[in-house]
A and B are shown apart, each in its own frame.
Chain A
Amino acid sequence: MKRIIVNEKWCLGCRLCEYNCAFANSGSIGTTPLDMAKALKDIVINPRIKIEEKDDICFAVSCRHCKEPLCVKSCITGALTRVDGVIRINKEKCVECHTCVLVCPYGAIMPSDEGVMQKCELCVQNTGGEPFCVKGCPNKAIEFKELGGDSV
């Protein structure tokens, strides 16, 4: 199972991953810089990957797709499920109880602009393939790699 691996050693804190994430999940069609400008012009983005930053250290945080996911266990409606190693969210089922937000140790689930929860789904719900944050990282600080087995 491929996972998003973040290496803080190479993270520049440029936040391109956040914007690429917002673009990937904006529902816009197309992948060009012009499409991105159209999709993200004059909006405050609410990305599923976020840069944590303090002093000289910065790194991107997104869903780890845990093997034993607390969010899935705690979800009262079954909106969160683990499908083929990817933790998916069914927005139709989410009732905005925020329990998953409280239990996620990484802070990787958050309310979307519509209210229901959102999280990184490895871009499988978008174009698939390599997630946008990985594609757009200029310094290989975010990689999409096989970890072997069904590990965390």
Chain B
Amino acid sequence: MSIDFIYPEYEIARNKDRCINCRVCEKQCANEVHKYHADLKMMQADDLKCVNCQRCVSLCPTRALKIVKTDNTYKENAHWKGRTMSEIYLQAGSGGVLLSSMGNPVDYPIYWDKILINASQVTNPSIDPLREPMETRTFLGQRPNKIERDKDGNIVNNMAPQLELSTPIMFSAMSYGSISYNAHESLARAATELGIYYNTGEGGLHEDFYKYGANTIVQVASGRFGVHKDYLNAGAAVEIKMGQGAKPGIGGHLPGAKIVGDVSRTRMIPEGSDAISPAPHHDIYSIEDLHQLVMSLKEATNYTKPVIVKIAAVHNVAAIASGIARSGADIISLDGFRGGTGAAPTRIRDNVGIPIELALASVDKRLRDEGIRNNVSLVVGGSVRSSADVVKAIALGADAVYVATSALLALGCHLCRSCHGGKCNWGIATQRADLVKRLNPEIGYKRLVNLVEAWTHEIKEMMGGMGINSIEALKGNRLMLRGVGLNEKELEILGIYHAGQ
């Protein structure tokens, strides 16, 4: 036999003075960590199975539980960290690719945290959003380059189809399958109430959610799951997914175990079959090919809906975006390397792609330099954590942001990063009926609405502080930003001055 025991990273600490043996932790743990020992009349926990999702901690009525990082450690080594060593043991045992979920957790620079926002003092007045109007409404889509007039001199409406957002925040793509029915319902209802959009991801649109179509972006990805004419026409916009920030360059794989019942019907594939999205779209090998798909989708939707092209932020992102802006697409969505996922190979998630802040700045600049910025709107996602990140993104040149991890956190996710296990204790990344019901959309959608409303308040406050009263005036306004602790090159790419300058 091989010796492959790895001491668990986290341990469950139970305060025996407080535990009343109510067994709530036992019933709520899909990983079967907690167990009541009838002989000893006490609860016990198997740390080895714990994923640190905090469900038991959150529900323990006497606050008897906490989860702590273990102090068991390999001999310290700056080069060979404990996690690195454990991963080698795992792979030596399994021979398999390591899988992970949610966004890149590695300690790369977070540029949002090295950018500071300006405020008015003395010479230009700040605005109080409680007393004066503050416009957060945003439109996404192509802008006409010139005003056209008819023979009588009246302005001709030559606007391409637009998405109207009450606030520059949308819920990014998460497929039905990777997340649960109740999670989708929460997102759809919240988007409808907020006057924003959520995105179906590549799993198709459940028939129950067609009624939220006016606030839905339908996605077409390389697997083409669930794509048909009614689906395309059900949404307010169509998104072509070329890449995903968490796993640029590779496709997706939803295990057959999750393709059950409605998920199978919605994806239009047989139950139990793996849903494999190829790495490339097999019909797209050039911008011209992309143009064909963009135009096919516009034809299918009678030129009434904007088409979004979503790409992962990679090294040549500016050149790629320049191509997309000429492909007929209305909106480009950029997904940074910290974007989440339901499952990705660990090495790819942790090592491929670039930070969204740099990608956004370089794409916005490139499109402006080439005079094609008005061809497209820019939406960025993949690490937007707060209203401050939203403001910074818009000042760097984004038209709106996509949030997904933040939305899932609002629904209860504690970033245990075990989505690929399919046993989400919070009822989000699972298809197990007993777990799915843990997320009551009645609670979920209100929490999402609360979150976005709170952020919108904060965005207004920050804009007011800068003396700016609309998102439109903040857009690409990089003078409102200063870097701190950044080198010349980083400042140059971000197109901002250093603090103090």
CB < 8 Å A-B pair total: 64
Report yes or no: B24 in contact with A16, Cβ–Cβ below 8 A: yes
Instruction: Scan residues 1-29 of chain B and give those whose CB is less than 8 A from a CB of chain A.
Output: 17-20, 22-24, 27-28
Given contacts A13-B27, A14-B27, A16-B24, is CB(A136)–CB(B61) below 8 Å?
yes
Cross-chain contact B17 with A19 (CB below 8 angstroms): no
The one of A10, A14, A18, A34 in contact with B62, judged by C-beta atoms closer than 8 angstroms, is: A34
Q: Chain B interface: which size bin?
A: 20 to 34
A9-B437, A33-B18, A37-B17 given as contacts; is B443 within 8 A of A139 (CB)?
Answer: yes
Closest to B25 in A: A14
Contact yes or no, B443 A19, CB < 8 A: no
- Contact A139 B440, CB 8 Å, known A33-B18, A36-B62, A40-B20: yes
**Chain B residue with the shortest CB-CB distance to A51:** B27
| Complex CA–CA separation, A10 to B63 (angstroms) | 23
Q: Mark A117-152, 1 if CB is under 8 A from B, else 0.
A: 000000000000000000010111100000000000
Q: Is B97 an interface residue (CB 8 A)?
A: no
Q: Which of A15, A33, A37, A56 contacts B23 (CB 8 A)?
A: A15
Q: Are B438 and A15 closer than 8 Å at their CB atoms?
A: no
What chain A residues lie within 8 Å of B17 (beta carbons)? 37, 41
Could you tell me which residues of chain A, from 1 to 53, have a CB within 8 Å of some CB in chain B? 9-10, 12-16, 18-20, 23, 33-34, 36-37, 40-42
B98 at the interface (CB under 8 A from A): no
Contacts of B443 in A (CB 8 A): 139-140
Evaluate contact between B24 and A19: CB separation under 8 angstroms: yes
Please report the C-alpha to C-alpha distance between residue A56 and residue B61 in the assembled complex, in whole angstroms.
24
A80 to B437, CA, bound (A): 37
Contact with B61, one of A10, A16, A41, A140 (Cβ below 8 angstroms): A16
CB distance from B35 to the nearest CB of A (A): 16
Contact A14 B24 (CB under 8 A): yes
Is there contact, CB below 8 Å, between B61 and A12? no
**Complex alpha-carbon distance, A42 and B24, angstroms:** 16
Q: Do residues A16 and B433 form an inter-chain contact, with CB atoms below 8 A? A: no
Please judge, given known A-B contacts A15-B24, A16-B24, whether A33 and B61 are in contact too, CB under 8 Å: yes
Residue of B nearest to A13 (CB): B27
B59 within 8 A of A: yes
**Does A19 lie within 8 Å of B61, measured CB to CB?**
yes
Contacts of A136 in B (CB 8 A): 61
Could you tell me the distance in whole angstroms from the C-beta of B130 to the nearest C-beta in chain A? 32
Q: Is the CB of B59 within 8 A of A138?
A: yes
Question: How near does chain B come to A134, taking the closest CB pair, in angstroms?
Answer: 14
B132 within 8 A of A: no
Of residues 22 through 65 on chain B, the ones whose CB sits less than 8 Å from some CB of chain A are 22-24, 27-28, 59-64
A145 vs chain B, min Cβ distance (A)? 13
List of B residues within 8 angstroms of A36 by Cβ: 20, 61-62
CA A9 – CA B441 in complex, angstroms? 12
List, in ascending order, chain B residues with CB within 8 A of A56's CB: 433-434
Alpha-carbon distance A40/B23, docked complex (angstroms): 13
Question: Which residue of the partner chain B has the closest CB to A36?
Answer: B62
- Roughly how many angstroms separate A16 CA and B60 CA in the complex, as a whole number? 9
Q: Is A140 in contact with B440, judged by CB distance below 8 angstroms? A: yes
Contact at B27–A15, with CB atoms within 8 Å? yes
Chain A: which residue is nearest B435 at the CB level? A12
Task: Decide if B442 is an interface residue (CB 8 Å cutoff).
Answer: yes
Min CB gap B36→A, angstroms: 12
| Contact residues in B for A37 (Cβ distance below 8 Å) | 17-20, 62, 64
Kindly state the separation between the CA atoms of A141 and B439 in the bound complex, as whole angstroms. 11
Q: Are B18 and A12 in contact (CB under 8 A)?
A: no
Shortest beta-carbon distance from A140 to chain B in Å: 5
Contact of A16 with B18 at beta-carbon distance under 8 Å, contacts A136-B61, A140-B442 already known: no
B161 CB to closest chain A CB, in angstroms? 39
Which residues of A, 58-85, contact B by the 8 Å Cβ criterion? Answer: none
Would A12 and B62 count as touching, CB distance under 8 A? Answer: no
Q: For the complex formed, measure the closest distance between the CB of B294 and the CB atoms of chain A, giving whole angstroms.
A: 42
A10, B435: Cα distance in complex, Å: 10
Q: Is the CB of B22 within 8 A of A19?
A: yes
Chain A residues with CB under 8 Å of B20's CB are: 19, 36-37, 40-42
Cβ–Cβ < 8 Å partners of B64 in chain A: 37
A2 nearest CB across to chain B (Å): 18
Which of chain B's residues have a CB closer than 8 A to the CB of A9? 437
Q: Which one of B19, B23, B62, B440 has the greatest number of beta carbons of chain A within 10 Å? A: B62
User: Chain A residues near B27 (CB, 8 Å)?
Assistant: 12-15
Report A26 CB to chain B, min CB distance, Å: 11
Complex: how many Å from CA A42 to CA B42?
A: 10
By beta carbon, the residue of chain B nearest A53 is B27
Cβ contact within 8 Å between A12 and B437: yes
Q: What are the residues of chain B within 8 A of A19 when measuring CB–CB?
A: 20, 22, 24, 61
Among residues of A, the one whose C-beta sits closest to the C-beta of B59 is A138
Bound Cα distance A34, B15 (Å)? 11
CB-contact partner of B28 in A14, A33, A140, under 8 A: A14
Q: Which residues of chain A are within 8 angstroms of B28 by Cβ–Cβ distance?
A: 12, 14
In the complex where A15-B24, A16-B24 touch, is A33 in contact with B63 (Cβ < 8 A)? yes
Across the A-B interface, the 9 shortest Cβ-Cβ residue pairs: A37-B62, A33-B63, A37-B18, A40-B20, A19-B22, A33-B62, A10-B440, A139-B440, A14-B24
B-side residues, CB < 8 A to A, are 17-20, 22-24, 27-28, 59-64, 433-434, 437-438, 440, 442-443
Q: Would you list 28 pairs from A and B whose C-beta atoms are within 8 A, ordered by A residue?
A: A12-B434, A12-B437, A13-B27, A14-B28, A14-B59, A15-B22, A15-B23, A15-B24, A15-B27, A18-B22, A19-B20, A19-B22, A23-B61, A33-B18, A33-B61, A33-B63, A34-B63, A36-B61, A37-B18, A37-B19, A37-B20, A40-B20, A40-B22, A40-B62, A41-B17, A138-B59, A139-B438, A140-B440
